[in-house]
């Protein structure tokens, strides 16, 4: 597809390629300058995360390569608590005013230290809104993409 990239290289040339490639990257690329930028489609307050929002999002379907599901930023919320699930997933409880909300981050065990340091502090999160249907119950939830501590 048009978003894919790659190269073909003979097995006997791989080590030479790897050395030269590493040399160029280390010389011309300053890792300290990397800053992740994620484009968001809008900003949400915790109070807005509800069934009406989910129904509005569904009007934008179908989602795919040329029509991604919307990504939202929830700014300046308190990290009230978190749980580690299956040693690698994180379930955060965020709060704004009296309203709380949970947000799931999958495969982010490296964030545990940062979560400990930032408990009860203001953070901003980037997430997708999803509907979770389980045991005949429907809940509107957040699937986390990133956190700004």
Tens of pLDDT, residues 2-28: 566 677 888 898 888 888 877 776 665
Position 64 scores a pLDDT of: 92
pLDDT of residue 127: 98
3-state secondary structure labels for all residues of 66-132:
CECCCCEEEEEEEEEEEEEECCCEEEEEEEECCEEEEEEECCCHHHHHHHHHHCCCEEEEEEEEEEE
Exposure string over 18-37, b if 16+ CB within 10 A, otherwise e: eeeeeeeeeeeeeeeeeeee
CB 17 within 8 A of CB 65: no
What is the chain's percent helix, strand, coil content, to nearest 5? 30, 40, 35
> With 0-12 CB in 10 A as exposed, 13-18 as middle and 19+ as buried, what is 141?
middle
* Tens place of pLDDT per residue across the chain (149 aa): 556 667 788 889 888 888 887 777 666 565 555 566 899 999 999 999 999 999 999 999 999 999 999 999 999 999 999 999 999 999 999 999 999 999 999 999 999 999 999 999 999 999 999 999 999 999 999 999 999 98
- Sign (positive or negative) of CA dihedral 88, 86, 129, 122: negative
Confidence at residue 21, expressed as pLDDT on a 0 to 100 scale: 79
What's the pLDDT at 17?
A: 86
Backbone angles phi, psi at 132, to 5 degrees: -110, 115
């Amino acid at each position: 597809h048009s978003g894919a990239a790659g190269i073909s290289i003979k097995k006997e040339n791989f080590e030479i390629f790897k050395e030269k490639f590493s040399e160029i990257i280390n010389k011309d690329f300053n890792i300290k300058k990397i800053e992740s930028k994620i484009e968001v489609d809008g900003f949400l307050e915790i109070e807005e995360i509800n069934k009406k929002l989910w129904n509005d999002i569904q009007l934008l379907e179908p989602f795919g390569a040329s029509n991604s599901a919307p990504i939202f930023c929830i700014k300046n919320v308190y990290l009230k608590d978190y749980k580690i699930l299956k040693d690698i997933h994180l379930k955060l409880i965020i709060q704004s005013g009296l309203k709380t909300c949970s947000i799931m981050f999958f495969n982010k065990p490296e964030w545990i230290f940062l979560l400990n340091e930032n408990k009860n502090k203001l953070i901003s999160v980037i997430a997708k809104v999803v509907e979770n249907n389980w045991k005949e119950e429907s809940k509107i939830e957040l699937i986390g993409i990133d956190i700004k501590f």
